[in-house]
Structure 1
Amino acid sequence: MKANRMEAFSDGVLAIIITIMVLEFKVPEGHDWHSLTGLIPKIMSYIVSFVYVGIYWNNHHHLLHTVRRINGKLMWLNMLLLFCLSLVPFTTAWMGESHFAPTPTALYGIVLLMAAVAYMFLQRAIIGQHPADSVIVSAMGKDLKGKLSPILYLLAIIMAYVMPWVSCFFFVLVAIVWFVPDKRIEQALSMHNEEHGA
Structure 2
Amino acid sequence: MHKGRLEAFSDGVIAIIITIMVLELKVPHTDNIAGLKPLWPVLMSYMLSFIYVGIYWNNHHHMLFAVEKINGTVLWANLHLLFWLSLIPFVTDWMGENHFTKWPVVLYGIVLIMNAIAYTILAAILMKREGKESKLSRAFGRDRKSKLCVLIYAVAIGSAFITTTISLMLYLLVAIIWFIPDIRIERILAGNEESE
Q: TM-score, normalised by structure 1?
A: 0.92
Moved over 4 A (4+): none
Q: What aligned pairs does 1:35-184 form with structure 2 within 5 A after superposition? A: 35-134=35-134, 136-184=136-184
Residues 134 and 71 from structure 1, CA distance in 2 versus in 1: closer, same or farther, beyond 3 angstroms? closer
CA contact 1:157–1:167 (8 Å) conserved in 2 = yes
8 A Cα contact 2:2 2:68, kept in partner: no
Q: Deviations over 1:133-165 (max 9, x none)?
A: 445423312312111111011111111111001
Percentage of matched positions with identical amino acids = 51
**Pair 136,19 (structure 1): closer, same or farther in 2 beyond 3 Å:** closer
Unaligned runs of 5+ in 1: 194-198
Native 8 Å contact 2:100 2:164 kept in 1: yes
Letter in 1 for 2:127: I
Do the aligned residues in 2 keep the contact of 1:84 with 1:114 (CA within 8 Å)? yes
Q: How far has the Cα of 1:189 moved from its partner? A: 2.8
Kept after mapping to 2: 8 A contact 1:85/1:115: yes
Shift of 1:35: 0.8
Tell whether the 8 Å contact from 2:28 to 2:36 is kept in structure 1 after alignment. Answer: yes
Measured after TM superposition, the shift of residue 191 of structure 1 is 3.3
Unaligned runs of 5+ in 2: none
SS in 2 for 1:128: helix
Mapped to 2, the partners of 1:62 and 1:150 lie a distance apart of 20
AA aligned opposite 1:168? L
Q: Is the 8 A contact 1:110 1:157 kept in 2?
A: yes
TM (normalized to structure 2)?
0.93
Equivalences, count: 193
| Residues 7-54 of structure 1: per-residue CA shift (max 9 Å, x gap) | 111001001000100111112122201111110000001000000000
- Maintained 8 Å contact 2:66/2:189: yes
Tell me how far apart the structure 2 counterparts of residues 105 and 52 of structure 1 sit (CA, whole Å).
15
